[in-house]
Structure 1
Amino acid sequence: MSTPVRRHRGAIQDRPLGWARNPLTEFDQLLGEMSGLMESTVGGAAPAVAWTPLADVTESDDAFHVEIEIPGVKSKDINVEANGQELVVTGEIKEKERKGVLRRSTRRTGSFEYRLRLPGEVDTEKINARMSDGVLNIAVPKAEVARPRHIEISEKSESPESEG
C-alpha cells in the first residue's frame, strides 16, 4: 500500500523527513554550519552580545534621562561610556552557581549592551549615573548651546517725541 501524496499543478510534493518532529532542525543545522565556516575563515571572534536591556529615554529642557532595567547587576559590573552624542552601557549578569538540577531558567545572563545616539549636543563631562532598585538612571546634561533659550520680545512704543 502506498502513502498518499499531494499533487500540486502536476508536481508531486512529499513532506520532508522529520517535518513532524521539529520544523527548525534544518535551520539550526544550517546556522551551525555557517558559524563553523565563519570561524574557520575569520578565526574565533569575540562572543556576540547576548541581549539588550529595556530602557526609557526622556528629555527635559536641560538634559536627557535614561532609565535602564538591569535587575541583579552590581554597579561594579556595569560600564557607562559617552563618546560625543553616543551613550553606551555594557555589562554582564553572571550566572549563579547552583546546587542540584536546574529544571527551568528564564532569567537573562551573560553580556548585555545598550547603545543610544542622542539627538543633540551633550555635556559629557557632567553625566551622572546611579543605580537604584535594579534600575540604572543616567542623566545626560545638554550642552549650553543646545539648550532652548527664551527670547524676550520688546515692544517699540510709538511716541510723538521721537518724531521730529
Structure 2
Amino acid sequence: MTLPVRRGEGLGTLARWDPFREIEDAWTRMGNLLGDVIGGVEGRPARLLGGMVQPVDIEETEDAFVIDLDLPGVRREDISVDLRDNELFVTGEIKERERTGVLRRRSRPVGRFEHRIAVPGDIDPESVHATLADGVLTIRLAKAKRSQPKHIEISTGPEGQGTGPEGQS
C-alpha cells in the first residue's frame, strides 16, 4: 500500500502527508486571519481559535465562592493569584518541557496565560485560600459577613400583646 505524499518546501523534495498537520495549519491560518480582523486586547494577539482558555467551574455556596481552574502540568511557583475589589486574576506560565526527540505534533498550549473572574458578591479578602492538586487550582473566596444570607426568626411580642399596630395601646 502506498501513502499519499506532497511536495515539500524545496524543489523535488517529498514529504509524507499528515492530515492532522493540515488541520492544525488551517486552524492557525484561520486564527491569524480573525486576529488581523478584530485585533487583540491591550496589544495582545486575539486567540479565538485554539487559544489558551482553561476550563473553569465557579460554584456559589452559602458562605463562599469556590473556583476550580484546570491547569495541568503547571507548577505552583508558576502561578500568581491576585484579588482586586471583586475581580480575581489568575496569571502564570505553562512552560514547555525540554525535549530530546523530534516534535512531530504540538497541540498542548505553552506560554503565558491570564484568567480574570468577576465575583458576583462581596468577598472577605482575609479569608481567601488557594490550593493546587492534580492539575486543578481551587480557590475558595469566603463571602463577606454582610453579604452572607441570615435567617431571621420571627418572635411574638409580650404575652397578650401582638407585635403589630393593633397590639399597641
Pairwise TM-score range, normalised by the shorter structure? 0.5 to 0.7
The 4+ residue runs of structure 1 with deviation greater than 2 A are 45-50, 155-160
CA contact (8 A) 1:53 1:113 kept: no
In 1: Cα distance, 2:65 partner to 2:71 partner: 19
In 1: Cα distance, 2:77 partner to 2:154 partner: 51
In 2: Cα distance, 1:31 partner to 1:163 partner: 76
What is the number of equivalent residue pairs in this alignment?
Answer: 131
Q: Where in structure 2 are the equivalents of 1:65-104 lying within 5 Å? A: 65-104=66-105
Could you tell me how far 1:155 is from its partner in structure 2? 2.4
Percent identity for Structure 1 against Structure 2 = 42
In 1: Cα distance, 2:94 partner to 2:45 partner: 15
- Residue 143 (structure 1) aligns with: 144
In 2: Cα distance, 1:151 partner to 1:72 partner: 47
Q: Where in structure 2 are the equivalents of 1:8-87 lying within 5 Å? A: 31=33, 45=43, 51-87=52-88
In structure 2, stretches of 5+ residues that fail to align are 1-25, 162-166
Per-residue Cα deviation, 1:1-22 (whole angstroms, up to 9, x for no partner): xxxxxxxxxxxxxxxxxxxxxx
Q: Could you state the TM-score of these two structures normalised by the residue count of structure 1?
A: 0.67
In 2: Cα distance, 1:111 partner to 1:154 partner: 57
In 2: Cα distance, 1:154 partner to 1:96 partner: 65
Could you tell me how far 1:107 is from its partner in structure 2? 1.4
Could you tell me how far 1:47 is from its partner in structure 2? 6.7
Question: Is the partner of 1:116 in helix, strand or coil?
Answer: strand
In 2: Cα distance, 1:119 partner to 1:47 partner: 28
In structure 1, stretches of 5+ residues that fail to align are 1-23, 39-44
- Residue 154 (structure 1) aligns with: 155
Counterpart residue type for residue 87 of structure 1:
L
CA RMSD, Structure 1 to Structure 2 (Å) = 3.2
CA contact (8 A) 1:129 1:136 kept: yes
In 2: Cα distance, 1:163 partner to 1:99 partner: 87
- Residue 133 (structure 1) aligns with: 134
- Residue 13 (structure 1) aligns with: none
